[in-house]
Structure 1
Amino acid sequence: MPTAGTVARRTALALAGLTALAGIAAVALVLMPPPTWEAWQYALLALEFSLFAALVAAFGAALALAARPGNTRLRAVLVSANALVLAAALVPSAALWSTARDLGADLSLSDHTAGLSTVADREPTTLTYATVDGTALELDVWEPAEPSAEPLPVVVNVHGGADDLSQSLLPRWDTWLADEGHVVVEADYRFFPEGEWSAPVSDVRCALGWVRDHIAEYGGDPERIALTGQSAGGFLALLAAWAPAEDIPPSCPAPEVDPDAVIAWYTASIGTVDAPPSPWRLRHSPLGGELAATNEHMMGGTVDEVPEEYTASSPVEHVRPGLPPALLLTAGHDLFLDPEDNRRLAARLSGAGVAHRHVELPWTEHMYDLNWGGFASQITRHEIGAFLTEHLHP
């Protein structure tokens, strides 16, 4: 009959094996092409919460070391496996810590456990800003918790996602922006009707017109407006800020509004044949084919069939002197976008003399802002705060 010490050693080794296997699976999720959307979502969470994986791996290594005098070879294998997982799990945090140091951003380990961005401490005012082709388009207005005696600058955000998602996907960011001294507007739009890639751009310009006409009722200053967006929303924000007004008019009777600043989060800017290739993980994933089909549906054909549409829909093609200042936030480990896209956009902005800032966040996945306390989100808040202070707050 095994002794208590033998049972304890076997249990420790079994647990060490489980931590090693779990860590290896998490690393594989992050590095390998995702077979499904659900696998990509798990990969996003694994990368964003890699510090917790590091703690688990350290615990597993400690268990294997403590299982003496057990099987020496097995112990060595488990210690090594957990140590490798530990090292891999620390890479994203170490890289972001270095980036934060270079940018002068303070990071907090305690904030890393602050949870997700999907909930907020209050509700917005929701209203319909236009009805286009029978579709009611809504927006949310988020005001500061403490009212201001003076009109506040306005931040209009255009969400990313899909056609079944509405505005205010990550409301914790809205309340943060509001409490930093802004009136925040989250605008919905028609999600790329077939062959009508410019329709949502027109909707965003319609929403901007509503803001110009009505935001004073909510304490906002219609003469100080920043336009921002994530993923597809960032694509729309850039086009709404940069594309010639005569090419893409608002989808409703609305004044022309030129935003004072624009922020694009993990956003594609080049859709022509000269675009950088998709990341390796996407090219070897079934999701790549799905996205290509969605893109062709939106554009009305392939890049070879309708090249003029891909050119017109590429924000980089609209760069010219006199554009509003831009902040580009690039995810360095983005499944959907090679960082070279935004590097080229930043170079084009430099050539045109447009004030801009490009921040590349290493080992950060698309939609990293889901993790409110993540190091990438902390850096982003530092950069957005400084950018908006410079360009919206006199």
Structure 2
Amino acid sequence: MTTVAPTRSRGLLTGSALLCLPALAGLGLVLLPPLSLAMWQAALVVLEFSALFALPALCGALLALGARRSGGGRGAFLLAALNALLMVLALVPSVSVWQTARAEGARLDPFQYAAGFATSADREPVTLEYASPGGEPLELDVWQPEGGVPEDSGLPVVVNVHGGAEDLPQSLLPRWDTWLADSGGNRVVFDVDYRFFPDGDWSASLADVRCALGWVYENAAEYGGDPERIALNGQSAGGLLVLLAAYSDETEPSCDTEVPEVDAVVAWYSATDGTAEAPPAPWRQRQSPVEEELLESSERMVGGPPEEYPEEYEAMSPILQVDADSPPTLLITAGHDFFLGTEDNDRMVEHLESEGVPHHHVELPWTEHMFDLNWGGLSSQVARQSIGDFLADHL
């Protein structure tokens, strides 16, 4: 008996120690500066599924308590406490977003938590070329409601502009396109491609988005859309572009078209101030070796830093272009964004309020940039409720 108890205790302690490792590793990925963009992507996935890490931690705590009853001593107590702490920390993101959901009136479905990614859809769009600036063909996808579009329906229109760190195609997350098309009494969605911030010519991207907006205005009726009811929607860099396209007409479109005013604009985790006076980047970015790469990429778009090209950075800062005529705006902020601190969007909200622009701001705590990749995630569920309500009110 004296041999069995210590052996059993050591086995339980070993199991407890191993079970705390997933949550410890996940905690490090989420809280510490990533050494590469691949590590940031891993941190995004970990944060989106953080609640799943609570289960091994719970099992580890139970094993440690069993070891303590078998004479495991102080080590068993410490392992039990560590696993219990990790279990609580793993649940913090979900609990925080749940509280935001209550404030937004969103009903969350925990059974959707592992519903998969938003990178595929249940149908294919109609793909068309809308322009070819400089001989480069640009395409857009037309997403109609699942049941089709009744003749002369005149459905509201959403023009979606994707984000990305490189030249990615339109309909990057098609499951969101189909949701926009099928929800809220149905809409027609146009997901557009554009030249992704060519070196030294950032405005080419904005010119393409304005061109696409004009094309949609001219052709929406052919696909069942109402050209007099158009909203813009964009994520990250796409969010920046839709804000600029909605707030200012200083950039000419890259094709011969009439660019309409829009009824509403939705920007997800998008920077609004690119000037030298902008809030600092988040601590994780400033301490990461990736920061230099990000700064170089940003400066290449313009030709140099904000101090050397102040007028260019002012022109690409929506926060400086807000006025009383700006369309109703929904800002969705990721509260744990590696690329953008929450202060940026907070300051944008202050400008919208001071100009009397109808707006709504949703900050999703413990949520990472590009969280909408996870279709069933709690943050994505809140975003769907907020966007649906906003479009119903303004489109």
If the TM-score is normalised by the length of the shorter chain, which range does it land in?
over 0.9
1:232 aligns to 2:237 (yes or no): yes
Matching residue's letter, 1:22: P
Say whether residues 1:39 and 2:39 are aligned partners.
Answer: yes
Q: How far apart, in 2, do the equivalents of 1:127 and 1:3 lie?
A: 75
Does the aligned pair in 2 maintain the 1:163–1:190 contact within 8 Å? Answer: no
**Counterpart amino acid of residue 38 in structure 2:** E
Q: Percent identity?
A: 56
Offset, 1:3: 8.2
Post-superposition CA distance 1:32-51 (Å, at most 9, x none): 11000111011111111111
Structure 2 unaligned regions, length at least 5: none
The alignment status of 1:170 with 2:173, answered yes or no, reads yes
- State the 1:12 CA deviation: 3.8
Q: d(CA) in 2 for partners of 1:224 and 1:7?
A: 72
Of 360, 364, 373, 1:357 maps to 360
State the distance in 2 between where 1:261 and 1:78 align: 53
Question: Any conservation in 1 of the 2:220–2:227 contact (CA below 8 Å)?
Answer: yes
SS at match of 2:392: helix
Q: How many corresponding residue pairs? A: 390
What corresponds to 1:26 in structure 2?
A: 26
Write the letter of the residue equivalent to 1:197: W
Q: How far did residue 7 of structure 1 move?
A: 6.5
- Give the corresponding residue for 1:15: 15
Residues 151/8 of structure 1: CA separation in 2 closer, same or farther (3 Å cut): farther
Q: Indicate if the aligned counterparts of 1:299 and 1:309 stay in contact, CA closer than 8 A.
A: yes
Residues 263-274 of structure 1: matches in 2 within 5 Å? Answer: 263-274=266-277
Q: Which moved more, 1:170-179 or 1:76-85?
A: 76-85
Q: TM-score of the superposition, structure 2-length normalised?
A: 0.95
Determine which of 250, 253, 266 is the counterpart of 2:253.
250
Write the distance in 1 (CA, Å) between the matches of 2:113 and 2:103.
Answer: 20
Counterpart for residue 64 of structure 1: 64
> Is 1:81 the equivalent of 2:86?
no
Distance 1:175 1:59 in 2: 40
> Which of 324, 327, 336 is the equivalent residue of 2:327?
324
Partner of 1:223: 228
Alignment of 1:1-394 (within 5 A): 10-67=10-67, 68-149=69-150, 150-180=153-183, 181-243=186-248, 245=249, 247-392=250-395
Q: Secondary structure at the match of 1:390?
A: helix
Offset from partner CA, 1:148-178 (integer Å, 9 cap, x none):
4222111111000022311111111111111
Give RMSD over aligned pairs: 1.7
Q: Is the 8 A contact 2:20 2:57 kept in 1?
A: yes
Shift of 1:248: 0.3
Moved more, 28-37 or 101-110: 101-110
Q: Which residue identity does 2:90 align to in structure 1? A: A
Following the alignment from structure 2 to structure 1, what is the Cα–Cα distance between the partners of residues 253 and 138? 13
Cα–Cα, structure 1 residues 179 and 5, in superposed 2: closer, same or farther, change >3 Å? farther
Which letter maps to 1:95?
Answer: S
In 2, the alpha carbon distance for the partners of 1:319 and 1:53 equals 43
Aligned-residue offset at 1:93: 1.1
TM-score normalised to structure 1 length: 0.95
Q: Is the 8 A contact 2:100 2:364 kept in 1?
A: yes
Q: Give the superposition deviation at 1:220.
A: 1.2
